Amino acid sequence: MDAAALLQEIKLKAVRSSGAGGQHVNKVSTKVELAFDVANSQALSLKEKERILHKLAHRLTKGNVLILQAGDTRSQYRNKELVIKRFLQLLEDALTFQKKRRKTKPSKSSIEKRLRKKKKDALKKQNRRRPKLD
């Protein structure tokens, strides 16, 4: 994955943001919308595209376009930085392979330690009971 080549292919658009800001929010376009066409990308290999299409299927449109938005701050420049950072992180996470989990058994000493602690706790609770008067 080449980040510089990916950034050449994204389309950024500024739109009007909602939320706090009063009249100012109705006049300026601070929210940034990023669109990335996964299927027609030249920066990604075929395997990378397949992996992204599979992993991010719930986030893609019908035309396989990934759309992200950032309207967290009142600055268009800062929102642009945020959405690009999120985009690169999202692709990086989608392309990483998760290590397969291997089953392991607890060690003999850990089993014995657990049983000793159980016995100790049981005895402690037994000593809290009212003594039997026969």
Which pLDDT score, from 0 to 100, does residue 53 have? 92
Q: What is the pLDDT of residues 80-127, one digit of tens each?
A: 999 999 999 999 999 998 899 999 999 999 999 999 999 999 999 999
Asked whether the predicted pLDDT for residue 28 surpasses 90, the reply is no
CA 79 to CA 127: how far, in whole Å? Answer: 63
CA 46 to CA 51: how far, in whole Å? Answer: 9
Q: What is the pLDDT of residues 2-18, one digit of tens each?
A: 888 888 888 999 888 77
CA angle (115, 121, 123) in 5-degree steps: 105
Burial grade of 12 (CB within 10 A; 0-12, 13-18, 19 or more): middle
CA 112 to CA 23: how far, in whole Å? Answer: 69
Which pLDDT score, from 0 to 100, does residue 16 have? 85
Q: Which domains does the chain have, with CATH numbers?
A: 3-95 (3.30.160.20)
Asked whether the predicted pLDDT for residue 21 surpasses 70, the reply is no
Question: To 10 degrees, the CA torsion angle through 8, 10, 16, 19?
Answer: -110
CA 69 to CA 88: how far, in whole Å? Answer: 13
